[in-house]
Amino acid sequence: GAGVSQSPSNKVTEKGKDVELRCDPISGHTALYWYRQSLGQGLEFLIYFQGNSAPDKSGLPSDRFSAERTGGSVSTLTIQRTQQEDSAVYLCASSPQVSNEKLFFGSGTQLSVL
């Protein structure tokens, strides 16, 4: 696609429910990144993918968070048993290759956990 696409744009859920956030990177970009932006905070690195593999999962805040990427394209970030502190904007970015410094960001998913 022309840019990084994220869906849904906004998601409201109840505490304890599972949510899936989707990221569709720019076609051909091999690297994909997930960041979390809490209200008034900077961007917190969560995970990156090189192709379909995720060499570094250390940024995921708890075992309730998981992510996968299939076909070297679309990625899904899953949060199980959501908590109110999970409320944030989740941003996805892609770049042409790993270790390329230029990131292209999507518009994020605003997650609100009630």
Partner 1 sequence: AQTVTQSQPEMSVQEAETVTLSCTYDTSENNYYLFWYKQPPSRQMILVIRQEAYKQQNATENRFSVNFQKAAKSFSLKISDSQLGDTAMYFCAFIFYNNNDMRFGAGTRLTVKP
Which stretches of the chain bind partner 1, using CB under 8 A?
Answer: 31, 33, 35, 40-43, 45, 48, 50, 55-56, 59, 89, 91, 93, 98-99, 101-103, 105-108, 110
Cα 19 from chain centre: 12
Six-digit token string for 66: 């998981």
- Least gap, CB of 105 to partner 1 (angstroms): 4
Residue placing its CB nearer to partner 1 in the complex, 60 or 93: 93
Tallying the residues shown for the chain, one arrives at 114
Task: Compute the distance between CA of residue 41 and CA of residue 56 in angstroms, rounded to an integer.
Answer: 22
- Least gap, CB of 65 to partner 1 (angstroms): 17
Nearest 5°: the CA angle 66, 110, 72 is 45
Residue placing its CB nearer to partner 1 in the complex, 18 or 56: 56
Task: Compute the distance between CA of residue 99 and CA of residue 76 in angstroms, rounded to an integer.
Answer: 21
- Least gap, CB of 81 to partner 1 (angstroms): 26
